[in-house]
Structure 1
């Protein structure tokens, strides 16, 4: 499958660094040039996508809200 077009503008190309697998949900850490992006997805999706450390992926971030705090 190849993506023809997508409306998500925040895309981070990277490599799966670590997967913490749970019975239902898993945490997937993706190393990108901007830093680590962590996604929580179903364990079923991890298996269907055949994700493993070293897999090259694109992390898509679509949020309805982005909060900013001062330092």
Structure 2
């Protein structure tokens, strides 16, 4: 179990947030509802989705590395 208030907990949360928003971008109903705003508070979801789709290989490698760290090293 990772603690949200630790540095590795923040990294896990950030990676999961980026992956979730990238998945939402692929679902048409969620894409039009959640990712339509590009500015403001709702723009964070749009920007995370863009990061997840454009940098999908580094994000996937980071998710695998973080999973290895959480399961085996922590």
TM-score by length of 1: 0.24
More helix per residue:
2
TM-score by length of 2: 0.23
More strand per residue:
1
